Amino acid sequence: MLLTRGNRPRKQADDFSGRRKFLLIFIMSCMTVLVGRAVHLQVFKKDFLQEHSRYVDTVSISSYRGIIEDRNGEALAISSPAPSITINPKEFVKDDESVIALMEKKFKSEHGAEKLSESQIQEVKSAYRQEKQIKINELEKLLDLPRGRVNAVLDEKKGKGFAYLAKKVSPGLAEQVKDLKFAGVDILREFKRFYPSGEVAAHLLGFTDAADVGQVGLEKSYEAMLKGADGKKRVIKDGLHQVIADVESVASPIPGKNLELSIDQRIQYLAYRELQNAVRVNKAKAGALVVLDSKTGEILAAVNQPSFNPNSKADLKEILYRNRAFTEVFEPGSTVKPFVVAAALEGGYIRPSDRFVTDGVFPVGSNIVRDTHNYGILDVEGVIKKSSNIGVAKMALKMPVDYFCGTYKKLGFGDSPATGFPGEASGRMSVAKRMRDFDRAILAYGYGLNMSAIQLARSYTALADDGILHSVSLLKRDEDIDAQRVFSQKTAKTVRTMMETVISKEGTAYEARVDGYRVAGKTGTAKKAGAHGYSANSYFAVFAGLAPASNPRLVVVVMIDEPSAGQYYGGLVAAPAFSKVMGGALRLLGVTPDQENTMPILLARKTP
């Protein structure tokens, strides 16, 4: 029978409808099977999946932090491997079940039993727990943990996947822990920053945190340079997110760059020792000491008291790691008087032969400038030698305000020394437009402005290097491209010669002399300012000097904060420390003496 045109579509539609039903039923059946399988695995076989599933992941590889070293290559800060011991409470507890199951199987085999009684099961579990506790006790003993600490961590972190047992242990100890073969106890590769010089360079270097990231000092300011870049690798992890195998390296870690400082560790130690002694002997609150290379502006030493040990930061307070040499300011007192003399000579406002009446009292407006003694009539050199406030005040008043203050500004007063040290102070200086005559007078002997020890030391390079002021650097360099002339060579040498008289018996700092070397310097004794004005009993004792005076190589500044052992003058408190540091540093650097030795040196001792 032939089908009509109208019947064909109906037959095809019926056939299609049957195939469609079959496909839908088949697809739904497959989906049901897949959903059922997924539910079975995710719900009923979850532990199995976690134990046997595998996946590829990318993890980071920590880079080594760069070394900080002194100018001679001595390591001042170095990162060494310091693994941490961790525990995975989930894995640790999970291992109990698998080991107990094996022990039960072994027990059945040994006793020929098909099934264990409840008492036998408890016997197996008790034996296992005893063995495990013995290993836990051994682990606690290795890590010097109190008895019960591991179980306490397991209870505290129950259900978690990670907890520390001990941080940054020695590699040898980590190997001993590894030999225990404790499931769930892992060795985490980490680094610990070590500072070989301890307290000696602590304020300069600062320290890092537990993640080896710089927190203060040079560790912080050069963090980007020191930290390097972490690498990456692909690994295979199990369902518990633990690495079970390496696949390939994606990017190798790039170690941090080493940082070469201008510091000479030998001079740093010498300065630390002598400052510590000066603070102790004078029963002072604190102190700072700076040594500069007067030809390059490099900082060869910068120390503070009190200090701290960066290798042990327990209960460390901010006041201990504050770097006073860079971040704290003080009124410099008479240490600025040579600059007043230099400015007046340079501008032609005085001559070396000029004489000044210094009879103890000098009225300036409604105020009075005083000297500690009536020095009578002094020439310019005598004003420096006797440290006359009246003498330099009269010199300052001879100069125009803009010129006088401009000289101070050229010396860097009131501006940051730009060493790159975090938190370095800029200091403060009065504004010239608002300045009265008395303001100018007290500026001449170091009041009305403040500065850090680094700033004061920097200003002295203008006298040490024949009128050239240097920038200061904590990094080793061969020359100072930012040096600038402040005084003429003639003026600098003239003032330097005058400053040598300060170290004479008639001067204010005979204790600053250095055997075999000519020394030029200036004392400073400034009252401390407080909430209610200047204190009558609290002082900054300061000495700034350079040597050898014929061709200065070093500048040293010593500041002692609140000496309380009886003496407080800079020439008696700070000058002795200057003498020992300057003398020792010149000899360490092999600087040739510039005068005949006036003190006998015992070269050899004859035996009877």
Both ends of the chain: CA-CA distance in Å? 149
User: Strand 68-69 to strand 259-260: parallel, antiparallel, or no bridges (unpaired)?
Assistant: parallel
Report which of 358, 271, 336, 233 is spatially closest to residue 583, judged by C-alpha positions: 271
Active-site position among 197, 294, 334, 452: 334
Task: Give the span between the Cα atoms of 394 and 344, in whole angstroms.
Answer: 10
Q: Which uninterrupted H or E stretch holds 578?
A: helix 575-588
Task: Tell me how far apart the alpha carbons of residues 295 and 23 are, in angstroms, rounded to a whole number.
Answer: 92
d(CA 260, CA 68): 6
Q: 222 vs 65, 401, 475, CA distance in Å?
A: 11, 41, 11
In the residue annotation, 334 being an active-site residue is answered as yes
**Amino acid occupying residue 40:** H
CA 539 to chain centre: 28
Q: How far apart are CA 213 and CA 220, in angstroms?
A: 8
The DSSP secondary-structure symbol of 315 reads T
DSSP state of 470: P
Give the three-state DSSP class for 253. coil
| Tokens at 41, concatenated | 């695995």
d(CA 570, CA 559): 8
The CA distance from 508 to 515, in Å, is 18
554: left (phi over 0), alpha (psi -120 to 50) or beta: beta
From residue 80, alpha-carbon distances to 309, 445, 497 in Å are 18, 51, 51
Greatest alpha-carbon span in the chain = 149
Which H or E element spans position 122? helix 118-142
CB 105 within 8 A of CB 163: no
Task: Evaluate the omega torsion of the peptide bond into residue 306 and state whether it is cis, within 30 degrees of 0.
Answer: yes
> How many other C-beta atoms can be found within 10 angstroms of the C-beta atom of residue 494?
19
Which residue's structure tokens are 């941490």? 84
Work out the angle at residue 527's Cα, subtended by the Cα atoms of residues 320 and 504, and round it to the nearest 5 degrees.
Answer: 100
Q: Which residues are catalytic?
A: 334
